[in-house]
Amino acid sequence: YKTSTGDVLYSSLDKFEEIDAQGLINSIIDLYKNIDEIELYRSAFTDLRNKKYKDALNKFTAFIKIHDTSEFSSNATYWIGECLYAMENYEGALINFAYVIKNYPDGNKLGDSKLKIGYSLYNLQNWKLARLAFDNVISNYPNSTHSVLAEKKIQGMNLEGR
């Protein structure tokens, strides 16, 4: 599904087909290289909010390739994971959220990434690891929205017998 984190691109939303990711990324970079950093980020985020996940994915990917030292790189990387998750590519999302944790340990999307790892594992039906991920969120982010959501998911898993 991927060539490297952030290089995950698909030919359609309905059926994921691996394509020449590097060639496509170079084409996408050419499309967006002359757009202002903030304008490109906002455009990608607007596409995400409007559920244009493929467009958002392409723009966020171009953003981190073009503006790799930007203060928004960690967030853009996180939003790539959200695009993949919304496109039901849970494996790609999982890998991307793990990349955020590893490469941006001081970023503001750390808790969100850990929670989404749990959701991704749940959707991949890896109940044991999903439960561990949710427990980790509860331990590391007590009294937070993250821990409330993780606790709710664990309760649901208990009801489901998972």
- pLDDT tens-digit profile of 64-111? 999 999 999 999 999 999 999 999 999 999 999 999 999 999 999 999
pLDDT at 8 over 90: no
Contact, 116 vs 83, CB < 8 A? no
Q: What is the pLDDT of residue 12?
A: 34
Q: What is the pLDDT of residue 20?
A: 55
Gap between the Cα atoms of 52 and 74, Å rounded: 21
Gap between the Cα atoms of 159 and 162, Å rounded: 8
Q: What is the pLDDT of residue 27?
A: 80
Rg of the chain over CA atoms, in angstroms?
16
Q: What is the mean pLDDT of residues 39-56?
A: 97
- pLDDT tens-digit profile of 101-155? 999 999 999 999 999 999 999 999 999 999 999 999 999 999 999 999 999 999 9
pLDDT at 10 over 60: no
Select the more confidently predicted residue: 35 or 13.
35
Q: What is the pLDDT of residue 11?
A: 32
Buried/exposed 96-131: b ≥16 CB within 10 Å, e otherwise: bbbbbbeebeebebbbbbbbbbbbbbbbeebeeebb
Give the pLDDT band of residue 16 (cuts 50, 70, 90): very low
Contact, 45 vs 82, CB < 8 A? no
pLDDT at 56 over 90: yes
Gap between the Cα atoms of 37 and 58, Å rounded: 14
